[in-house]
Amino acid sequence: MEISELYEIFLKCGKVSTDSRNLQGGELFFALKGENFDGNEYALKAIEAGAAYSVVDKGSRFDGASERIIAVDNTLEALQALARHHRENTFVDGERIKVIGLTGTNGKTTTKELIRRVLSAKYNVTATEGNLNNDIGVPLSLLKIGPDTRLAVIEMGANHPDDILHLVNVAEPDYGLITNVGKAHLLGFGSFEGVKRAKGQLYDYIRDHGKAVFLNVDDPVLTEMAHLRQGLSILPYGPSYWNALVIPPDEGHPFLRMAIPDDLSESENLLALETSLAGSYNAVNVLAAIAVGRFFGVELDDCIRAIESYVPANSRSQMTKRGSLTLIMDAYNANPSSMGAALDNFSLTKAGRKVAMLGDMRELGEDSVAEHRAIVRRLKEMKLDKVFLVGEEFGKALEGSGLEAEWFPTSESLAGYLGEHPLADATVLVKGSRGIAMEKAASVLQ
């Protein structure tokens, strides 16, 4: 079937699904295959559950079983081609809809949510839901662009060298933004230089096909990457570039606060901005959202109000009170750069008693033990009141370090310990990679 024919069917359905368990009726169901599942086996069940059509792989079990079964060479490639076709054939005021592509090592989802919130002060915005930022999530996000959408913000994640290359060729962004580049997924990228090359594919695409990138010119790595790509158009922002100030936290104001010149330059008239984000490292994420908002005509006052209304969720830069405990939950994911930033911020946090609960940083390959040892050395310098470490890598890093810490193989075992030895009257930082699930240990804190 030609993509134009499939697109006509999609327009009639208005929505797609890749999960037969969550059908609401009328969807175009794509039977995707993975290492441990084969959606082709659920093609008829999806139709029985309310899907209008099921898209299957040619030659699969239900190919030809119903007039509502559509066979294609590869269902994932068909989903991506459909999303790209939709993106290319959605127009606003006579021009193709503008797409902002976003990637980076840390802060992608928080920055995307801030940008969405800021742009929504003026426009109807479609943005990636949660962190659906991979080869399935990106096309699903694009296919949610509706007739009322005026701007799209698409988050793109990467674990391997050419992931961003594939995703930009689906999303075809007009504008790009890289939050930062750090040591993450080294097992897949091979090295820090590999991370830079992979993330830099967004810059490459914008230079060759798009309009401009939003660049934090205070970040030397990003600045170098941008300047190596001759012909790349740059829309600069950054704390020093805009003379923006981070106001140190205190017990009455534990969240990120900033003072921003009212014309984003040398003005002595400063505007106050108070967020609900824990961690001064979020300052650049806030400024990224303001840069995007101002470029698209959102007034600075409206940008600030939008950012102040954002409340983080899903263990990203969250600070909450639980009885006598203040809990800093930043446990959605972790890598050396984000772990270091979290500890730097924790060292500046005003608190009588400080406790760190850290889980392994995954996918660091041959650098893993060295990177965990670096974190252990940092913890030793901080002289915290209590340190809990979880996972095999931290176990190796602790050996001979001299750091006084309680070690546990899993977050469940730490949760059991904390259930019997409850913490009280402390500020607790919780961070670790997704696979460690540090929220299980945090769930027992009261």
Residue indicated by tokens 């699903």: 140
Residue 163 forms part of a structural domain: yes
Q: How many CB atoms lie within 10 A of CB 377?
A: 14
Residue 233 forms part of a structural domain: yes
For residues 155 and 253, state if they share a domain: yes
375's tokens:
């974190």
Residue 196 forms part of a structural domain: yes
Segments forming the whole domain that contains residue 338 = 318-442
For residues 254 and 327, state if they share a domain: no
**Residue 273: closest CA among 258, 288, 287:** 258
For residues 154 and 229, state if they share a domain: yes
Q: How many CB atoms lie within 10 A of CB 89?
A: 12
For residues 227 and 188, state if they share a domain: yes
- Domain count for the chain, please give it: 3
Domain boundary among 255, 284, 308: 308
Residue 369 forms part of a structural domain: yes
For residues 104 and 153, state if they share a domain: yes
For residues 46 and 97, state if they share a domain: no
CA-angle at 159, arms to 237 and 217, nearest 5°: 15
Task: Identify the pLDDT of residue 36.
Answer: 87
DSSP secondary structure letter of residue 86: H
Q: Is-contact 197 160, C-beta < 8 A?
A: no
**Residue 282: closest CA among 261, 301, 308:** 308
Report the CATH number at residue 41.
3.40.1390.10
Report the CATH number at residue 327.
3.90.190.20
Q: Is-contact 175 76, C-beta < 8 A?
A: no
Domain boundary among 75, 102, 124: 75
The alpha helices in 14-134, defined as continuous H runs, are 43-48, 75-88, 108-119
For residues 179 and 302, state if they share a domain: yes
**What b/e string do you get for 302-317 counting C-beta neighbours within 10 Å, with b at 16 or more?**
bbbebbeebebeebbb
Task: Identify the pLDDT of residue 392.
Answer: 97
Residue 85 forms part of a structural domain: no
| 270 vs 285: CA distance, rounded Å | 19
Task: Identify the pLDDT of residue 351.
Answer: 86
Residue 104 forms part of a structural domain: yes
Q: How many CB atoms lie within 10 A of CB 322?
A: 12
For residues 139 and 278, state if they share a domain: yes
Task: Identify the pLDDT of residue 353.
Answer: 95
Residue 396 forms part of a structural domain: yes
Task: Identify the pLDDT of residue 35.
Answer: 85
Report the CATH number at residue 278.
3.40.1190.10
| 60 vs 117: CA distance, rounded Å | 43
Q: One-letter amino acid identity for 419?
A: G
Which residue ranges in the chain fall short of pLDDT 70? none
For residues 187 and 249, state if they share a domain: yes
Residue indicated by tokens 């995954």: 362
For residues 185 and 46, state if they share a domain: no
Beta-strand ranges (E) seen in 217-278 are 234-237, 245-247, 257-261, 270-274
Domain boundary among 278, 308, 338: 308
Residue 103 forms part of a structural domain: yes
Task: Identify the pLDDT of residue 315.
Answer: 73
Task: Identify the pLDDT of residue 92.
Answer: 97
For residues 287 and 339, state if they share a domain: no
Query: How big is the chain, counted in residues?
Result: 446
Confirm whether pTM is higher than 0.85. yes
Residue 182, judged by CB atoms within 10 A of its CB (0-12, 13-18, 19+), counts as buried
For residues 229 and 106, state if they share a domain: yes
Alpha-carbon separation of residue 313 from 106, 223, 244, 276 (angstroms): 16, 30, 26, 10
